[in-house]
Amino acid sequence: MAGAYVHIPFCSHICYYCDFNKVFIEGQPVDDYVAMLIREMKLVMASHPDETIQTVYVGGGTPTALTPAQLERLITGIRAALHFDHGEFTFEANPNDLLTKDKLQVLHDNGVNRLSIGVQSFNDEILKRIGRTHRAKDVYQAIANARAVGFDNLSIDLIFRLPQQSREDFLSSLHKALALDLPHYSTYSLILERKTIFYNLMRSGRLQLPSQDVEADMYQDAIDLMEAAGRHQYEISNFAKLGYQCQHNLLYWQNEHYFGFGAGAFGYIGRDRYHNFGPIKQYLAPLHAHKVPVIEHHLVPLEEQIEEEMFLGLRTRAGVSQQRFASRYHMTIQDVYGDLLQRLADQQLIEVAGDAVRLTNQGQFLGNEVFQQFLIDGQLI
């Protein structure tokens, strides 16, 4: 069984922090893209006829930048090409695409059962500062419309460590988010990625960000408030009521297989990690010739598989299962990392509890530093 990620690279505006593969939608061949995206799914799945798709996640870009008719064609095509008739089916959305119910109705009527809405902040000044075009009032309208149409599995994203953001401001956004009583929330610290407006501003000394201490306080506030509200942390950045964890993202964190469809998408099937062409024209050209649009294949060696098992599993609060590790790799975690586990445990960054190896609360704040220590120097076999 596997998941499927479907990439829609079109946006009606470009946010200052975003480095995902995206283009401004005006003048783009959107209808052709949807048609070729469905063709890609059919071509790929013809080579994997026995693979069952467990979850589908449509991200971007902004999937809800499509028209209702385009959305319907896309969803119908996904269901037919992937033989996907049940399971978690997520669409990313922007609040200002949901101010009327037409797109929501198409999504719901065609079996989409989970929405992930990019809110980022409830402070209108900060939203302007980061290049978002929606305002806080739009979030409330979008959530009300989604509920009216029949959606109950809703998630929103918040970002902290934003330019000129105070701890009090982020606390305010957290409280307003939780007052919506949604089953799932994601909170991410701002990362300055290359080729973004914010990265260029940082390089020129014109980006004022909160200090690392304030950032840590913001993250702790999120953990504490979410837990108090019954939204339990199940991954470094994600919180949910029991039964509402994102099943698609859990596939990633459990190092399971997934197909990637669309411009710039990545997939991981068997030991094959592959990458599609990113530019729209280069993505479409092979599909017009009925060929898959893959630019690169990488056969993942054992050492890299094990490293990723640790990096990804340690992101979750459940941690890495020693039993599962042994059954997958025919060796124990102790065989590979025995001395390191002891050293990190002595530093109170990880804990070994029964079957699980997981980050401590302190380890969560130093996750990237901890993960780097699981890189394997040399070959295991």
- 123 and 238 housed in the same domain: yes
- 246 and 317 housed in the same domain: no
Distance CA 297, CA 316 (A): 28
Note whether residue 241 is domain-resident. Answer: yes
Query: For position 75, what pLDDT does the model report?
Result: 98
Query: For position 190, what pLDDT does the model report?
Result: 85
- 17 and 93 housed in the same domain: yes
Note whether residue 263 is domain-resident. Answer: no
- 220 and 309 housed in the same domain: no
Note whether residue 290 is domain-resident. Answer: no
Q: Please state whether 289 falls in left (phi above 0), alpha (psi between -120 and 50) or beta.
A: alpha
- 35 and 139 housed in the same domain: yes
Domain with residue 35: its CATH number is 3.80.30.20
Domain with residue 362: its CATH number is 1.10.10.920
- Looking at 233, 252, 271, the residue that finishes a domain is 252
Tally the domains of the chain.
2
Which of these, 277, 246, 268, 302, lies nearest to 51 by C-alpha position? Answer: 268
Q: Each residue's pLDDT tens digit in the chain (381 positions)?
A: 899 999 999 988 776 666 666 788 999 999 999 999 999 999 999 999 999 999 999 999 999 999 999 999 999 999 999 999 899 999 999 999 999 999 999 999 999 999 999 999 999 999 998 888 999 999 999 999 999 999 999 999 999 999 889 999 999 999 999 999 999 999 998 877 677 667 677 677 777 788 999 999 999 999 999 999 999 999 999 999 999 999 999 999 999 999 999 999 999 999 999 999 999 999 999 999 999 999 999 999 999 999 999 999 999 999 999 999 999 999 999 999 999 999 999 999 999 999 999 999 999 999 989 999 999 986 665
CA dihedral angle for residue 82, residue 83, residue 88, residue 94, rounded to 10 degrees: 50
- 75 and 155 housed in the same domain: yes
CA distances to 73, 96, 303, 337 from 310, rounded to whole Å, are: 39, 38, 11, 10
Which of these, 324, 368, 373, lies nearest to 345 by C-alpha position? Answer: 373
Query: For position 251, what pLDDT does the model report?
Result: 95
Q: Within a 10 A sphere around the Cβ of 228, how many other Cβ atoms?
A: 9
**DSSP classification of residue 102:** H
Note whether residue 143 is domain-resident. Answer: yes
Domain encompassing residue 329 = 305-372
| C-alpha angle 33-36-37 in degrees, rounded to nearest 5 | 80
- Looking at 230, 252, 274, the residue that finishes a domain is 252
User: Where does the chain have alpha helices with state H?
Assistant: 30-46, 68-82, 102-109, 124-129, 136-149, 167-179, 197-203, 212-228, 247-253, 280-288, 302-315, 322-329, 333-346, 361-365, 367-372
Distance CA 154, CA 147 (A): 9
From the centroid of its chain, how far is CA 167? 25
pTM: 0.95
CB neighbour class for 104 (10 Å; exposed up to 12, middle 13-18, buried from 19): buried
Note whether residue 292 is domain-resident. Answer: no
- 215 and 364 housed in the same domain: no
- 99 and 228 housed in the same domain: yes
Strands of 266-269's sheet, edge to edge? Answer: 232-235, 238-240, 184-189, 154-160, 114-120, 88-93, 53-60, 2-8, 258-261, 266-269, 272-276, 294-299
- Looking at 237, 252, 267, the residue that finishes a domain is 252
- 98 and 237 housed in the same domain: yes
Q: Tally DSSP H helices, then E strands, for the chain.
A: 15, 17
- 80 and 179 housed in the same domain: yes
- 316 and 232 housed in the same domain: no
Query: For position 206, what pLDDT does the model report?
Result: 72
- 8 and 99 housed in the same domain: yes
